[in-house]
Amino acid sequence: MKPENRWTTQKRNLAGASLTHALHDGYTDALYAFMPVWQAQFGLSYAALAVIRALYYATMGGLQIPADRVLRGWSPQAALILSTVVAAAGLLIMALPLGFTGLCIGLVVAGIGSSIQHPRGSMLVTHSYGKAARGPLGIYNFAGDLGKAVLPALVAVLLTVLAWRPLLGLMALLGVALCFALMALAPAVPLSGNDTEEKPAGRGRGGFRVLAMIGGLDTATRMGYLLFLPFLIQGRGGSLPTVGIALALLFIGGAFGKMTFGWLGERLGVVMTVMMAETTTALLITATLFTPLTLTLILLPLLGIVLNGISSVLYGTVPELSDGDTGRAFAIFYTSVIGSGGIAPILYGAIADHSSQTIGLLATAATAALIVPLILILRPHLRSQPMARDGVARSRPRISSTTSERIAQ
């Protein structure tokens, strides 16, 4: 196939995976906008709301590995459409007048759908771009953040003019529209195997465990800081609107970081990029403990860049350390990240409850700093090297991916 046609196919595959990621992550964070409505509708306590959230997140996180195992023989088109249909069906169940039981069942069904798209979408991007997938995976990662920013905000606005059940129905219709788009974008043939490139025996496995640990700690740092940020802003004299501005500034920086850090990792190398980002993260978190409100707001976009952006480098490293089974590796990595995101706020909150908010924030900074020695442990397992100015990676000889060529054909 002509190179330009292969390039077009890669772009279509990336667009399909990114749109799916954006919608599903938008579904995930849009649930927060419904929480006050459900609390009033069903007379729920805060603990009950936490349980409701856990129904979705536990299902989504716990089924990543089984979903990858069951669907690895499916085409990307079929897998991504299935994930969207199931998630939309969950929203429709929630929209039906089935009471609190129907709400809980719908959350579990929606979580099942979202558990499918992460490993399958990541695999589609990885197989499409082969060893050059790090940058495109950053775009895929950024698309999820874009969905988190747009759909929850849209839901919050529409809840002022629509009842929550019809609004859930409209969200499900977005899923139906995405299914039609995926018919034109995602490839309708199964991926040929799970290898993106040959791995030396035993090289990737130990390194992947370290990478998954780093991913979990990176997510723990991010979720821990988000837990304390509203209180930090209020402690500086900020109002509730100022808290909203602070979160927006952090997320804007994070979205920019996710889009650019994949490419930065190719230029500087994984180890150098992660060391720089996590060191900067620890320093900026500590700095926000001592800065006045205005300076804190100025620092937040910079903190967001490194706090969120480094995840693109970590996701992009999964194929290299997958030991040949990239689909399962992505599923395990996402399970580690999602699990850490659920547990970390509880742990940091307990630390702050038994000491102070300052100690809790310093604990998040220490978590970021802990990643620096871990990435040094990971160095011997990595074969990717920074790219030279001519765009050619300086690395040991690698066997090129044939799977991406087959998809392009």
Q: Are residues 143 and 266 in the same domain?
A: no
Residue 105 located in a structural domain: yes
Residue 31, pLDDT > 70, answer: yes
* Identity at 212, one-letter amino acid code: A
Residue 159 located in a structural domain: yes
- The SS3 of residue 237 is coil
Residue 399 located in a structural domain: no
**pLDDT range class, residue 365, cuts 50, 70, 90:** very high
Q: Are residues 181 and 258 in the same domain?
A: no
Q: Are residues 373 and 231 in the same domain?
A: yes
Residue 37, pLDDT > 80, answer: yes
Domain containing 372 equals: 203-381
Residue 196 located in a structural domain: no
Q: Are residues 105 and 230 in the same domain?
A: no
**pLDDT range class, residue 6, cuts 50, 70, 90:** low
One-character DSSP codes across 283-330: HHHHHTTTS-HHHHHHHHHHHHHHHHHHHHHHHHHTGGGSTT-HHHHH
Residue 114, both tokens: 């979202």
Residue 230 located in a structural domain: yes
Q: Are residues 217 and 252 in the same domain?
A: yes
Contacts of 3 (CB under 8 A, 6+ apart): none
pLDDT for residue 47 = 67
Q: Is 210 exposed, middle or buried (0-12, 13-18, 19+ CB in 10 A)?
A: middle
Secondary structure percentages of the chain, helix, strand, coil, to 5 = 80, 0, 20
Instruction: Return the closest-CA partner of residue 344 out of 228, 258, 232.
Output: 228
> Which residue is it, tokens 């900074």?
365
Residue 100 located in a structural domain: yes
Q: Are residues 338 and 228 in the same domain?
A: yes
238, containing H or E segment = none
Instruction: Tell me the percentage of the chain whose pLDDT exceeds 70.
Output: 86
Residue 151 located in a structural domain: yes
Residue 176, pLDDT > 90, answer: yes
- Our count of domains for the chain comes to 2
Q: Are residues 246 and 164 in the same domain?
A: no
Q: Are residues 174 and 37 in the same domain?
A: yes
**pLDDT range class, residue 406, cuts 50, 70, 90:** very low
CA dist 285 and 60 (Å) reads 30
pLDDT for residue 170 = 94
Who wins on pLDDT, 216 or 46?
A: 216
Average the pLDDT over 383-388 and give the result: 51
Average the pLDDT over 176-186 and give the result: 88
Residue 387 located in a structural domain: no
CATH number of residue 340's parent domain: 1.20.1250.20
Q: Are residues 155 and 212 in the same domain?
A: no
pLDDT for residue 190 = 67
Q: Are residues 214 and 178 in the same domain?
A: no
